[in-house]
Amino acid sequence: MRDGGTFVEDITEIRRRARQQLGEGAVTQNYGGKVEDAIALLNHAVATEIVCVLRYKFHAVCATGLASESVKAEFAQNAKEEEAHLDLLAERINQLGGKPDLNPDGVGSRAASQYVEGSGLIDMIKEDLVAERIAIETYREMVRYFGDKDPTTRSLLERILAQEEEHANDMHDLLIGHDQNRT
Ligand SMILES: [Fe+2]
Ligand SMILES: [Fe+2]
């Protein structure tokens, strides 16, 4: 246990360190991991989100069939939410002193998820479910990686992860609903 005196000394030391290397912004000397590794990982997630935005946009525009209107709206909504994830990740990279990699060259190869157009509504929903499951697995891995090293990034990733799980659940519900409609 720390006594009051030690805590005050700690505060003095924290205040002293906070005045150093101001050019490094939010990354202080007690940052728990290698910040370059953190930025590289987050940039992979950036690429994944870009691919997800584009795939959902394609599906929102190109889905056809009698039952497609409500599904199109759901695809469009998901595209917006994936874009919000992209913004959050890019902001965090910036806070960590890095550059978000928004160069369109090579986005597909940096991403974990794939851009698949899909043929027909069911196929599109299946591809989206697959992509969400890939996103879920990679975000879970990242949450474990950041652990206590960088709690801010971890909690950001946890929020995104929760929404990817919702997306996967919604795609699964659509798949079940549309499969039943066909039989
Ligand atoms: Fe996302
Ligand atoms: Fe998603």
pLDDT in tens, 100-128: 999 999 999 999 998 999 989 999 999 99
Distance of alpha carbon 68 from alpha carbon 82, whole angstroms? 21
Phi/psi at 155 (nearest 5 deg)? -70, -30
- Using 50, 70 and 90 to split pLDDT, how confident is the model at 4? low
The whole-chain average pLDDT of the chain stands at 90
41: exposed, middle or buried (C-beta count within 10 Å: 0-12, 13-18, 19+)? buried
- Using 50, 70 and 90 to split pLDDT, how confident is the model at 183? very low
Q: What is the mean pLDDT of residues 157-182?
A: 90
Q: Is the pLDDT of residue 21 over 60?
A: yes
Number of H helices, E strands in the chain: 6, 0
**pLDDT for the residue 67:** 72
Give 179 or 3, the one with higher predicted confidence: 179
State the distance from the centre of ligand 1 to the C-alpha of 81, rounded, in angstroms.
Answer: 7
Distance of alpha carbon 54 from alpha carbon 104, whole angstroms? 12
Q: Which ligand ends up closest to the CA of 157?
A: 1
**pLDDT for the residue 66:** 65
Residue 167, both tokens = 């997306």
State the distance from the centre of ligand 2 to the C-alpha of 55, rounded, in angstroms.
Answer: 11
State the distance from the centre of ligand 2 to the C-alpha of 164, rounded, in angstroms.
Answer: 4
DSSP 30: T
State the distance from the centre of ligand 1 to the C-alpha of 45, rounded, in angstroms.
Answer: 8
Q: What is the mean pLDDT of residues 149-154?
A: 95
**pLDDT for the residue 169:** 97
Share of the chain residues as helix, strand and coil, in percent rounded to the nearest 5? 75, 0, 25
Burial code (b: 16+ CB inside 10 Å, e: under 16) for 11-27 equals eeeeeeeeeeeeeeeeb
